[in-house]
Amino acid sequence: MTLVQHHDDLIATAAAIALPGKGLLAADESTPTIGKRLAGVGVENNEAMRRAYRSLLVTTDGLADFISGVILYEETLFQDADDGLPMVEHLQKRGLIPGIKVDMGVQPLAGGCAGETWCTGLAGLQDRAARYYARGARFAKWRAVLRISEAGAPSELAIRENAWGLARYARTVQEEGLVPIVEPEILMDGDHAIETTAARQEAVLKAVYAALAENGVLLEGSLLKPSMTTAGASHHALQSPRQVGRITVQTLKRAVPAAVPGILFLSGGLGEEEASVYLDAINREGRRSPWHLGFSYGRALQQSCLKHWHGSDVAAGQAALLARARANSEASLGAYQPGSQPSDGDSLFVAGYSY
Ligand code: 13P
């Protein structure tokens, strides 16, 4: 197929994902990464337990009140839930749009600064995208990772390589009818100030949108998934939610075209409540911005769910998931009352987190 054939559907899908009060549940952890999350609650990482946990997620009634779609890992897209029905069918039945992580992880960037990476997965992507579409996926995710360091990261090389990879991916999956979620994550690792993040992120986003333009990506049929503009995780000074809201919106306004319908933040290691409070502050600041400012959280939507489930208690896990989904839905409208929903107090920051 071609992008032109999918033009109207891409725009309609992107708009449906970015509806007011909605966001995405990122449940696309690779098998090693979900293993770490399961180990955190004492559950073995085998196919049966991954199926059980993800069955819990996709069978949560009422989730569609707050969530428009769910990002899956390939295993889950083709897997049946505990009751024998395909996971995708559960999502579709509940009005949730299935999505799929299509990158194949990051590799060290030769010639870059220490710790810099590039994102793999372009080879064979168009065929995979066609297969995912046929199975019911309607959007895709590709996570490029950048870091800020005293050694000079993000280097010009890392910015260009990762921007180009995102653009090639976005164009390729649009040809097959999948809305690309463009994710240039800037890791929270480091002790830099929020102003440093803002300057680096602005440069990264401008490079990303220049590359998307060069590749003829249909912006109206795409979504951005950035990290919030925050200080490094080990920065000495406290940042207020208002400051995060103000600087995040400023950075986005300087770099993201108004044609993009929605910006769905990742949580990146923020705690559950923190991720909601910051999103709320961003929406209060960005009321008149051109985009829907929502969420696409992994850790910040799943931590208390995992803990309450603990390998067996499905009802408790689903209640915890719904509570955080509701909190983030309200935050995406700038209407969240801090502390009004239960949350897990754990720090979710992991140095150099991989997905
Ligand atoms: P976190 O919200 O856990 O950062 O994950 C979102 C995601 O999908 C990262 O690629």
Q: What percent of the chain has pLDDT over 70?
A: 100
* pLDDT higher than 80, residue 64: yes
Give me the residue label for tokens 């996709």. 58
Report the pLDDT value the prediction gives residue 346, as an integer from 0 to 100: 78
Stretch 100-128: mean pLDDT: 98
pTM exceeds 0.85:
yes
- CA dihedral (41, 47, 49, 51) in degrees, to 10, reads 120
Give the residue extent of every domain in the chain.
Answer: 7-331
* Per-position b or e across 271-286, b if 16+ CB within 10 A of its CB: bbbbbbbbbbbbbbbb
Alpha helices (runs of H) in the chain, residue ranges in sequence order: 3-17, 31-39, 47-58, 74-77, 87-93, 125-135, 156-175, 194-214, 241-255, 272-285, 299-309, 314-331
89's CB contacts (< 8 A; 6+ apart) are 136
Query: What are the pLDDT digits (tens) for 14-59?
Result: 999 999 999 999 999 999 999 999 999 999 999 999 999 999 999 9
Active site residue 225: yes
User: What angle, rounded to 10 degrees, do the helices at 241-255 and 194-214 form?
Assistant: 30
Query: What are the pLDDT digits (tens) for 34-43?
Result: 999 999 999 9
Helix (H, G, I), strand (E, B) or coil at 98: strand
Spatial contact of 327 and 343, defined as CB atoms under 8 Å apart = yes
Stretch 101-130: mean pLDDT: 98
- Catalytic hit among 29, 116, 176, 183: 183
Question: 182 CB less than 6 Å from ligand 1?
Answer: no
Query: Whole-angstrom Cα distance, residue 200 to residue 244?
Result: 15
Report the pLDDT value the prediction gives residue 347, as an integer from 0 to 100: 78
Instruction: Tell me the backbone φ, ψ of residue 137, rounded to 5 degrees.
Output: -70, 145
Taking alpha carbons only, the member of 311, 197, 326, 317 closest to residue 252 is: 197
Question: 128 CB less than 6 Å from ligand 1?
Answer: no
Query: What are the pLDDT digits (tens) for 297-330?
Result: 999 999 999 999 999 999 999 999 999 999 999 9
Average pLDDT, the chain: 97
C-alpha dihedral sign at 341, 342, 345, 346: negative
Q: Quick one: pLDDT band at residue 191, thresholds 50, 70, 90?
A: very high
Stretch 208-219: mean pLDDT: 98
Indicate which atom in ligand 1 lies nearest the CA of residue 296.
6
Q: Quick one: pLDDT band at residue 155, thresholds 50, 70, 90?
A: very high
* pLDDT higher than 80, residue 355: no
Q: Whose CA is nearest to atom 8 of ligand 1?
A: 26
- The residue type of 26 is A
CATH number of 7-331: 3.20.20.70
Report the pLDDT value the prediction gives residue 246, as an integer from 0 to 100: 98
- Catalytic hit among 225, 272, 285, 330: 225
Report the pLDDT value the prediction gives residue 1, as an integer from 0 to 100: 82
Stretch 74-99: mean pLDDT: 98
Q: Quick one: pLDDT band at residue 101, thresholds 50, 70, 90?
A: very high
Report the pLDDT value the prediction gives residue 300, as an integer from 0 to 100: 98
Gap from CA of 266 to ligand 1 centroid (Å): 5
Stretch 198-208: mean pLDDT: 98
Q: Quick one: pLDDT band at residue 72, thresholds 50, 70, 90?
A: very high
Report the pLDDT value the prediction gives residue 267, as an integer from 0 to 100: 98
Query: What are the pLDDT digits (tens) for 157-172?
Result: 999 999 999 999 999 9
Stretch 224-252: mean pLDDT: 97
